[in-house]
Amino acid sequence: MDLLDAFDTAWSEFDRRVHRIGEDQWDQPTPCTDWTVRDLVNHLVSEHLWAPWLLRGATLEEVGDRFDGDVLGGDGVEAWERAGAESHAAFHRPEALNGQVHTSGGLSATDEYGWQMTTDLTVHAWDLARGTGGDDALDEDLAAAVHAHVEPQVDSWQGAGVFDPPVPVPETATTQDKLVALLGRRP
């Protein structure tokens, strides 16, 4: 699965689950320590508000703090729809993935940034499903692609606060379970 196919699939997985959040579920806990469903969606909306700016070459200083705090306002689904649509379009702009982007870790290749965003969409789609009691089954090809991409890097992320330490799972675990466990979740 190439990056844009993985991004699109992950985006759809998250989008589908956002649209299934019940009005009484926004304060539900998620597998992300200290995050409710609202906090998790706010995190993704904020990331996707940043993406068009970063993919156009903006620095962190240029973006500043405009996407800090509560970016959901009174309608979390609508906020996701706006931010998600703009981010989706930005990733599909010609040559968007051929360059570098400013991140908190310094300059990164835009394709690596794309994989980071794909990974976040994927694991948080699972988190959101768990937080709302929805279907947590991810697309199998997506789970395999993201797992293959993050497995060689996960040790270097430890201590950076990106994900909790990996959780052990049996060798016979599904690829999805291996992925979420690798990213610190209990399948």
Q: Is the pLDDT of residue 37 over 80?
A: yes
Distance of CA 7 to the CA centre of its chain: 10
pLDDT at 34: 87
| Domains defined along the chain, listed by start | 3-138 (1.20.120.450)
The better pLDDT of the pair 158, 136 is held by 136
Spatial CA neighbour of 180 closest among 129, 127, 133: 127
pLDDT at residue 104, as a whole number? 85
Q: How confident is the model at residue 162 (pLDDT cuts 50, 70, 90)?
A: low
Please, what is the Cα angle at 183 between 68 and 78, to 5 degrees?
A: 40
* pTM as predicted: 0.95
| Stretch 116-141: mean pLDDT | 97
Using pLDDT thresholds of 50, 70 and 90, give the confidence band for residue 115: very high
pLDDT bucket at 58, cuts 50 / 70 / 90 = very high
Categorize the per-residue pLDDT at 134 as very low, low, confident or very high, splitting at 50, 70 and 90: very high
DSSP element (H, E) containing 107? strand 106-109
